Chains A and B, each alone.
Chain A
Amino acid sequence: MSENQRRLSIFDVMGESMDEFEAWADEVMESPFPEGPSWNDDVCCLYALCNVFVTPREVIITADLPNIEPETAKVEVDENLLEIKAQMKKKLRFADLGIYYRQGEFSSLRCQVRIPVPVNTSKMTISCRERIWEIRFPRKKRQQ
């Protein structure tokens, strides 16, 4: 009985570890462009294309934000989630793309990215060239 309990507890531990591993793998493998539509008509936004690069010292996130009013762009970080939002110069409707079987219009571009490693958010730098936004964070050292 006690042996069974011990076995069960080992499997439980393994099961928990596997769950943790799967959750971690999901997080790591999570694409910056999730499956599903590249738009959300509830909040009238289009999802922007973005990339995350992790270097030994920095995390660099870039986002392609065409057709926006640069002064409306907002970058927010909440724990390990970065969000970039900006208003578009001109609203885009499905009908503008020749799609008449859906209704909705989009007024903003948005990009939501999980920052994969701990970073120092207070030292975030933002730059933009040719509507490509680049956000850099120094990585936290282990003892931090």
Chain B
Amino acid sequence: MSESVKIVEKETVPSEATMIIGLPDVGLVGLISTSYIISELNLKEIGYMDSDLLPTVVVLHKGLPHSPLRIYGNQNLIAVISEMAIPAPSIYPIMQKIVEWAETKKVKRIISMGGIPIQNRQTITEPKVFGAASNQEQIDMLHKKGLKIMKEGYIVGPQALSMRYSSNRKLSVIALLAQSFYNYPDPEAAAMVLKELAKISEIKVDISKLLEKGEEIRLKARDIMKRTQQEMNRMKKSQEYDLPLYV
């Protein structure tokens, strides 16, 4: 299944690094937070993803073509982002490939950032962040560091698959999910995720610039949000509102 997805390494990829994943999803929380880390830590493009399952798109930066799904990094950190909404059916092979690749690079742990849709988000000034993890050891660590745990509920989309595929491979995955708008870009939620990320990792960035640029980001991210919403509808993302049944 994952044969149709290829990761091309442009530079040496660190081993035993932490991997963060920020793909377009609810409120673009993961994408905004990961892009901010890339720019604040000045991470270099070290690879990209190539697949015929992705639309025929290249992104031009400074006149040069780039794959919309790219991998950045430094000695300790690998960051995966997509500048394009990923078609819902392609999420499976793409996430499977990312996790397989992470294993070959002996990634210490994967941290997937995103949002949890909240209907009354505009009444919340400081969105809360909840953690989920692929094993009890990581849950205990999140507890210890003072993070709230998402004890019950559904996760749909890239985070769900990163957890599912990593559990099969005994890789540690943490999902950091901030209360956010469903289909409005939410830089404030992204900032809250970064705040919590700093508690559990060495990845520390000053979020003040992100908060300052919030309105500008909301304005510029309308198109990718619109396309992401279409894909979220296809992957039945609204199931995250459902209440799980435990008897």
Contact = CB atoms under 8 A, between A and B. Distances in A.
Our verdict on whether A and B bind, yes or no, reads yes
Contacts of B185: 64
Q: What is the interface of chain A mostly: helix, strand, loop, or mixed?
A: strand
Contact of A132 (B122, B214, B216, B223): B122
Interface string B210-229: 00001110111011011001
A67 B215 contact: yes
B184 interface: yes
A80 interface: no
Nearest to B218: A66
A62 B185 CA distance: 14
Given A51-B183, A66-B215, A67-B219, A129 B122 contact: yes
B122 A134 contact: yes
B39 interface: no
B123 interface: yes
A34 B188 CA distance: 27
Majority SS at the chain B contact face: helix
A3 interface: no
- The range of chain A's interface size is 10 to 19
A100 to B, nearest CB: 11
Interface residues of B, number: 19
A49 B216 contact: no
B215 A38 contact: no
B226 A130 contact: no
B222 A48 contact: yes
Contact of B223 (A38, A51, A64, A67): A38
Nearest to A89: B215
A49 B184 contact: yes
A67 B216 contact: yes
A84 interface: no
B122 A46 contact: no
Interface in B196-237: 214-216, 218-220, 222-223, 225-226, 229
Contact of A130 (B122, B216, B222): B122
A44 interface: no
A5 B215 CA distance: 63
Interface in A21-72: 33, 38, 46-49, 51, 62, 64, 66-67
Contacts of A132: 122, 181, 184
A64 B218 contact: yes
A49 B215 contact: no
Contacts of A109: 219
The residue among A33, A46, A64, A97 with the most chain B CB atoms within 10 A of its own CB is: A64
Contacts of A67: 215-216, 218-219
A92 interface: yes
Given A33-B229, A47-B222, A129-B123, 7 more contacts: A49-B222, A66-B216, A92-B219, A129-B122, A130-B125, A131-B218, A134-B122
Interface of A: 33, 38, 46-49, 51, 62, 64, 66-67, 92, 97, 109, 129-132, 134
> What are the 7 tightest A-B residue pairs by CB atom distance, in nearest-first order?
A66-B218, A66-B215, A64-B184, A132-B122, A67-B215, A129-B122, A33-B226
Interface of B: 122-123, 125, 181, 183-185, 188, 214-216, 218-220, 222-223, 225-226, 229
5 contacts: A33-B229, A38-B226, A49-B225, A109-B219, A130-B122
